[in-house]
Amino acid sequence: MLDRLKDRFILETQLTAHIVRRDRLSRMSVIPVVCAILAYCEDYRSAAIIAATVTISEAAAYLAGTGVGIDAPPPPLRRCAAIWTVAIVTTAIYMAAGALFGAGASTAAVICACIWMFGALVHVSNSFVAVPIYNWSMLLPSYIIVAVVISNLFARSFAPPDPMDAITVGGLLLVYFANSVQTTQTHKDSISAYEHMRELAARRLIELKDLSLRDTLTRLPNRRAFDDLASNILRGDGQRHGASGALFLINLDGFKPINDSYGHAAGDALLKEVARRLTAQGIGAGAGAVARLGNDEFAMAWPGPLNTSELHSISDMIQSHLHQPMRHNHRKLQITASIGIAPAHDGASVDQLLNEADQAMFHAKNNLESRIVIYDRHIIPKRSNLNDRARLLSAMQQGEICPFYQPQVDIATNRIIGLEALARWVQPKGNPRTPGSFLPAINEVNLQAEFQDHMLQAVLKDMTTLQNLNLLPDQVSINLSEVTLATAAGRDALLDVVGRHPNLHGHLMFEVTEDIFIARAGQTIKDSISMLRMAGVRISLDDFGTGFATFQHLQELEFDELKLDTGFVSRLGTDRATDVLVKSFLDMGRGLDVHIVAEGVETTAQLDILRDMGCQTVQGYLFSPALSLDDTTAFLQAGDATVAA
């Protein structure tokens, strides 16, 4: 209600400013007549005051209304209030002239007062008929002045008539007649201006509605508009077929590096070109709707029916159009796209189809074989959502997700020289869940930092417990994620936690995998590792031998430990090439004075081969799986490790 009243107030202000500006000359042209009548009544002082106040008020009205009109942008509320105040004061000054006439001594002056008041009221009513709020705001004070004039008529005696009175009244009647003619003509203009204002307001509403349904950069429909468009396209004919067609979700691969390297102008130009290509002849002609949903994400609703072959054919066409190089400032920009497809089915809303297409697109981005994936709920795992995020946070807070420890054994002495902390989810019912069942969900819902901090705090607490029992081995290893090392904030938080446990520095080992160096923040990660080593913490390179640039990283960084990947250990004694590689890795470790741990040792045959090759430390199910803290404590209290039965 208040919003509608405010809009009406602004609309009438614009129309009032137009009318006041239009009638300014005609209003001021009657001031000489007013001053002449007052001079005839020998009221020179009032004539001077009226002339001065009218001039001042008209100047104020001119300044207040400058730039405000029916075609101009809506003025702010303070400007509107100023326009109304000045206009009402100006009208009151003109009406006050009638009251001064009524105070005159002659009959002609009284008649002039009545004619003047009547003419002024007619002028206000006709001129501002299209602006009722403003009209009444001026008429009400005018009626008060009329009442004052009428009351004066009953409180005075009239002088004998004078010929000059007739001339004065006649002159004023002529002025009134001229004013009536002009008011009648301008009344049509007021109505026309009001209608123009209504059309303009309606046009602006349409434009605002259109803007609210379009992406401001590409001018494509946005998510809100796409829901309605796609719903109509995929609904089917409702008779022979139910839901028909498919929804395509297109995510640009390589957009972020272009945006970061060449600037937002290049990124915006790229998005505009993508929008143009998706709506161009060949694609746009077949698609029922194309929209931009987010930063580098587009959607298309394609009418059906469509079979699997046609879905792939449409996707290939989209990728072919987008893969063509684009030019910006003499640079050639090139991208690819991952496409998730959700075939329409009965009962599925557009929101559900978008969710299914998003799951397929996520699968496509991580699929090495094809960047096009059609959603199939029997094949594609369900993506994690906000409920899963809340459940994971609750599991960490309640200690359900906690570290288990797998011993690292010295082959020569069977002494337990280390532990590797491995995450487990211990639920109230059922066996502990391994990381593979919940780490993907943690990554999907962006809880990597919270998970890393939770695990580190738990491991340091357990290390303190073992230290108090004099059971803490030489080292305890914990895996570090890319998220922790790739930003200065993550690195500083890690160093802060480690700094609060100086007595554990000599026993703490952080494990990193080589794939984190492939990230765009690879140099930052290397700097973080160097700073951790300077803080007294040791670093282990996990899955050694599986990366594409392992030896390069050995040259660039100093590692305290290399962990031989399980894949090599499992093939020992069965694959000659593996035996040669493992022997070479062990010789390299000794040459670099780096400790090597063989992971995944499960058989005595593997243990014997590693012993013969000179390996010193092993880890695996042959000695023990990962154990809870209580079981680990008991294992350490038992003394040397033995081969499991």
- pLDDT per position as a tens digit, 338-358: 899 988 888 788 888 888 888
The percentage of the chain sitting over the pLDDT mark of 70, rounded to a whole number, equals 74
Tokens 């001039």 belong to which residue? 55
Q: How far apart are CA 411 and CA 228, in angstroms?
A: 68
Please report which confidence band the pLDDT of residue 238 belongs to, taking 50, 70 and 90 as the band edges. very low
Mean pLDDT is lowest, of 147-161, 450-464, 594-608, 622-636, for 147-161
Please report which confidence band the pLDDT of residue 287 belongs to, taking 50, 70 and 90 as the band edges. low
Report the pLDDT value the prediction gives residue 644, as an integer from 0 to 100: 59
Report the pLDDT value the prediction gives residue 239, as an integer from 0 to 100: 44
Please report which confidence band the pLDDT of residue 618 belongs to, taking 50, 70 and 90 as the band edges. very high
**Three-state SS at 414:** coil
User: Per-residue pLDDT tens for 183-220?
Assistant: 655 665 666 666 666 676 666 666 566 556 778 788 88
CA triplet 99, 102, 104: central angle to 5 degrees?
120
Q: What is the dihedral of CA 427, 432, 436, 442, to 10 degrees?
A: 30
- Is there a contact between 423 and 455 (Cβ–Cβ < 8 Å)? yes
**Chain centroid to CA 568: how far?**
47
- In the DSSP assignment, the letter for residue 214 is B
Q: How far apart are CA 432 and CA 459, in angstroms?
A: 17
Q: What is the dihedral of CA 514, 517, 518, 520, to 10 degrees?
A: 160
Q: What is the dihedral of CA 438, 440, 442, 448, to 10 degrees?
A: 130
Question: What is the pLDDT of the chain when averaged over all its residues?
Answer: 78
Report the pLDDT value the prediction gives residue 240, as an integer from 0 to 100: 46
User: Per-residue pLDDT tens for 502-533?
Assistant: 888 888 999 987 766 655 456 777 788 888 88
Please report which confidence band the pLDDT of residue 478 belongs to, taking 50, 70 and 90 as the band edges. very high
- Is there a contact between 275 and 323 (Cβ–Cβ < 8 Å)? no
Does residue 461 carry a pLDDT above 90?
yes
Q: How far apart are CA 259 and CA 245, in angstroms?
A: 34
User: Per-residue pLDDT tens for 398-446?
Assistant: 999 999 999 999 998 889 999 999 999 998 777 788 888 888 788 878 8
Please report which confidence band the pLDDT of residue 549 belongs to, taking 50, 70 and 90 as the band edges. very low
Report the pLDDT value the prediction gives residue 160, as an integer from 0 to 100: 57
Q: Which of 224-233, 247-256, 373-382, 460-469 has the highest mean pLDDT?
A: 460-469
Report the pLDDT value the prediction gives residue 156, as an integer from 0 to 100: 57
Give me the residues paired with residue 538 across strands. Answer: 509
What would the two tokens of residue 354 be? 């978008």
Better-scored residue on pLDDT, 64 or 624: 624
Better-scored residue on pLDDT, 240 or 542: 542
Q: How far apart are CA 51 and CA 303, in angstroms?
A: 75
Report the pLDDT value the prediction gives residue 8, as an integer from 0 to 100: 75
Tokens 């005051």 belong to which residue? 49
Class of domain 223-374: alpha beta
Please report which confidence band the pLDDT of residue 469 belongs to, taking 50, 70 and 90 as the band edges. very high
CA triplet 525, 478, 639: central angle to 5 degrees?
150
For 396-636, the fitting CATH number among 1.10.287.130, 3.90.1210.10, 3.40.50.1370, 3.20.20.450 is 3.20.20.450
Q: Which of 449, 443, 444, 422 is nearest to 433 (CA)?
A: 422
- Is there a contact between 495 and 480 (Cβ–Cβ < 8 Å)? no
- The helix/strand count (H/E) of the chain reads as 24, 15
Better-scored residue on pLDDT, 609 or 370: 609
Report the pLDDT value the prediction gives residue 631, as an integer from 0 to 100: 92
pTM score above 0.85: no
Better-scored residue on pLDDT, 279 or 597: 597
- Is there a contact between 523 and 557 (Cβ–Cβ < 8 Å)? no
- In the DSSP assignment, the letter for residue 506 is G
Classify strands 289-292 and 297-302 as parallel, antiparallel or unpaired.
antiparallel
Better-scored residue on pLDDT, 59 or 171: 59
Report the pLDDT value the prediction gives residue 295, as an integer from 0 to 100: 82
Report the pLDDT value the prediction gives residue 591, as an integer from 0 to 100: 81
Classify strands 475-479 and 416-425 as parallel, antiparallel or unpaired.
parallel
Classify strands 336-343 and 508-513 as parallel, antiparallel or unpaired.
unpaired
Does residue 12 carry a pLDDT above 80?
no
Give me the residues paired with residue 76 across strands. Answer: none
Mean pLDDT of 296-325: 86
Mean pLDDT of 88-98: 74
- Is there a contact between 102 and 152 (Cβ–Cβ < 8 Å)? yes
- Is there a contact between 563 and 597 (Cβ–Cβ < 8 Å)? yes
Q: How far apart are CA 213 and CA 568, in angstroms?
A: 57
Q: How far apart are CA 301 and CA 231, in angstroms?
A: 9
Does residue 311 carry a pLDDT above 50?
yes
Better-scored residue on pLDDT, 321 or 178: 321
Tokens 């089915």 belong to which residue? 345
Mean pLDDT of 176-186: 58
Classify strands 508-513 and 475-479 as parallel, antiparallel or unpaired.
parallel
Domain boundaries of the chain, sorted by first residue? 2-210, 223-374, 396-636
Rounded to whole angstroms, what are the CA distances from 320 to 51, 315, 599?
A: 79, 8, 45
Does residue 72 carry a pLDDT above 70?
yes
Does residue 141 carry a pLDDT above 80?
no
Does residue 333 carry a pLDDT above 70?
yes
What would the two tokens of residue 349 be? 């809303």
Mean pLDDT is lowest, of 123-137, 288-302, 351-365, 458-472, for 123-137
What would the two tokens of residue 89 be? 């004061």
Does residue 281 carry a pLDDT above 90?
no
Radius of gyration of the chain from its Cα atoms, rounded to whole angstroms: 43
- Is there a contact between 609 and 615 (Cβ–Cβ < 8 Å)? no
Q: Which of 125, 120, 118, 114 is nearest to 92 (CA)?
A: 120
Rounded to whole angstroms, what are the CA distances from 339 to 231, 245, 290, 311, 620?
A: 20, 16, 14, 11, 41
User: Is it true that 223-374 and 396-636 share their CATH fold?
Assistant: no
Note the helical H segments in 547-603.
550-556, 566-570, 576-592
User: Per-residue pLDDT tens for 367-404?
Assistant: 666 788 888 877 776 666 677 888 889 889 999 999 99
Report the pLDDT value the prediction gives residue 422, as an integer from 0 to 100: 93
CA atoms within 13 A on the CB side of 198: 8
Report the pLDDT value the prediction gives residue 135, as an integer from 0 to 100: 65
Note the helical H segments in 406-487.
439-444, 448-468, 482-485
Q: How far apart are CA 354 and CA 469, in angstroms?
A: 55
What would the two tokens of residue 539 be? 């670093």
150-171 residues labelled b (16+ CB within 10 A) or e (exposed): eeeeeeeeeeeeeeebeebbeb
Classify strands 561-564 and 595-598 as parallel, antiparallel or unpaired.
parallel
Report the pLDDT value the prediction gives residue 346, as an integer from 0 to 100: 80
